[in-house]
Amino acid sequence: MTRSVTVRVPAKINLHLSVGDLRPDGYHDLVTVYQALDLYDEVTVTPAAEISVRTPGYPEVPTTTKNLAWKAALQLLKLTESGEGCPVAIEIDKQIPVAGGMAGGSADAAATLLACNTLWGLDLSRSRLAEIAEQLGSDVPFALAGGTAVGTGRGEKVAPVLLARHQFHWVLALADGGLSTPKVFAELDRLRAAGPVPRVGGVDEVLTALATGTPEALAATLGNDLQAAAISLNPALRRTLNAAMQEGGLAGIVSGSGPTIAILCADAESAADVAANLAGRDVCRSVRVASGPVPGAKVVDRT
């Protein structure tokens, strides 16, 4: 009998993020292009008397029912009809920056769904898991899918970009503190109400650049409607973006709702150089190199 299951799940960045106007229901329509990067959280689930969450080293992450991994376990437990499921202790080994616009919480939820599905022998298909993921949050289905994908709706309707087979090299500049996603959307609404804010437009150019595969072509098409709002809330991000270009990045972009900056580089060597040079300047908290696309959530261990 399996006693614990570990799932590895990637962070995401958004190569393109176009945000529609505020809808009457409080949401915004999004069109986004996600890419999964080789920066991972690992989530281990073990049968226990009751659900619990541990995130060693990250006291700022809730370990209550507010944790998305907890919500995921509970959701799946409720859906198991004939008692195959059981409460689990969830341990999260975090590498994805918290509140960094890289969907760490969503990734943990996706990982927990896959881990419990495996632990309990439910054998739910990936598409059934994606339906459950959708109810947990907009970015959860992509964390299951991975790769490069177009997201529509609130980001939860995910379609793979099959032509994106090339590997891209990124530097991630992590900022001090996080940005709250709802606050960044509210700031965008405020800026748009105050006057015209340029919009990133359609997704076709990004998809064409992904098909040609050169990082230079992709760099010319990166865009994020949330960037102006993230910079308005954290003006220091502008310095990071400027420094990224001075140090040889092809293009820099706020990742999702920020404050992480994703810098596209020409190749792995250039990414290592840009990372080293940025780390020597006082423009961000820390740097990581990463590449993508990589596959989505995957079982890496079961004992």
**Residues near ligand ATP, by CB under 6 A:** 61-62, 66-69, 92, 98-106, 108, 139, 178, 181, 256-257
Task: Tell me how crowded residue 222 is: count the other CB atoms within 10 A of its CB.
Answer: 24
Give 11 or 209: the residue with its C-beta nearer to ligand ATP: 11
Q: How far is the CB of 163 from ligand ATP (least distance, A)?
A: 26
Give 102 or 264: the residue with its C-beta nearer to ligand ATP: 102
Q: Is 19 exposed, middle or buried (0-12, 13-18, 19+ CB in 10 A)?
A: buried
Catalytic residue list contains 12 = yes
Strand 298-302 to 286-292 pairing: unpaired
> Per-residue b/e over 177-198, b at no fewer than 16 CB within 10 Å?
ebbebeebbebbeeebeeeeee
Q: How far is the CB of 279 from ligand ATP (least distance, A)?
A: 22
From 12, 38, 108, 225, the catalytic residue:
12
Runs of H (alpha helix) within the chain: 68-79, 104-119, 126-136, 140-145, 181-194, 204-212, 215-219, 227-233, 236-246, 268-279
Give 5 or 209: the residue with its C-beta nearer to ligand ATP: 5
Q: How far is the CB of 46 from ligand ATP (least distance, A)?
A: 17
**CA neighbours closer than 13 Å in the CB half-sphere of residue 113:** 34
Q: How far is the CB of 138 from ligand ATP (least distance, A)?
A: 8
Catalytic residue list contains 273 = no
Give 170 or 215: the residue with its C-beta nearer to ligand ATP: 170
Give the residue closest to ligand ATP by C-beta. Answer: 105
- The C-alpha torsion from 193 through 201 and 160 to 299, rounded to 10°, is -40
From 38, 108, 139, 225, the catalytic residue:
139
Would you name the residues annotated as active-site residues?
12, 139
